[in-house]
Amino acid sequence: MTETVLTYADWSEALREGELLGQKCADCGNVTGVPKAACPECGSRELSTTNLPEKGTVYTETTVAVAPEGFEGGYKVGIVQVGEARVLGRLDSEADIGDEVVFADVFEHDGEPAPVFEIRQ
């Protein structure tokens, strides 16, 4: 494969620019929400970078009250179905399973980003 495989650096830079990048497998068609060197379903290295939809549906969520060192408790973390992939990130405190949300912002912790999803207006 000649195309450069999506890296963490590419993914996080794009996230900060408001783009959710994923990968699509040329062999089995599987779409994954975060970069890998090979398809987690079939092992193929024929992966192309793809733009994931900004709008999605909450698959599951929880409000973390007891937080790790370096975080303040009381935030919501969840997994969002965006198109064919799922992505984990911070969620609007009102977002429940099944709610429509949109990728709206980036949460930064120690220079490392996580996507933030808000309820679709």
Partner 1 sequence: MARATVVGVDMTKFGVHDSKLPELFADAAFPALDDAGVTQDELDAFYFGNAMSGLAENETHLAPKVATHMGMTDVPFQRFEDACATSANAFKNAVQAVDAGIHDTVLVGGVERCTPKTGMDTPEMTRVFASASHRQYEQPSGLTFPGVFALLTKRHMHEYGTTEEQLAEVAVKNHYHGSLNPRAHFGKETTVEDVLDGPIVADPFRLMDCCPFSDGASAVVVTNDELGDSFDGEGVDVTGVGHGVDAVPLSDKASLPETRAARDGAKEAYEDAGVTPSDIDFAEVHDCFTGAEVMATEALGLIEDGEGGPAAEEGRTRLGGEIPVNPSGGLKAKGHPIGATGTAQITELTEQLRGDARERQVEDARAGVAHNLGGDSGTTVVTVMEERA
Site of interaction with partner 1 (CB under 8 A): 8, 12, 32-34, 40, 59-71, 75, 77-79, 85-90, 97-98, 107-110, 112-114
Least distance in angstroms from the C-beta of 70 to partner 1: 7
Q: Which residues contact residue 29 at a Cβ distance below 8 angstroms, ignoring those fewer than 6 apart?
A: none
Q: Which one, 2 or 17, has the nearer CB to partner 1?
A: 17
- CB neighbourhood size of 76 (10 A): 19
Each residue of 31-59: b (16+ CB within 10 Å) or e? Answer: bbbbbeeebeeeeeeebebbebebebbbe
Min CB(115)–partner 1 separation in Å: 8
**Which is closer to partner 1, CB of 18 or CB of 40?**
40
- The stretches of 17-102 forming alpha helices (DSSP H) are none
Which of 24/86 has CB closer to partner 1?
86
Q: Is 13 helix (H, G, I), strand (E, B) or coil?
A: helix
Please, what is the minimum distance in Å from the beta carbon of residue 92 to partner 1? 13
Q: Closest distance between partner 1 and the C-beta of residue 78, in Å?
A: 7
- With respect to partner 1, which residue has the nearer C-beta, 87 or 102? 87
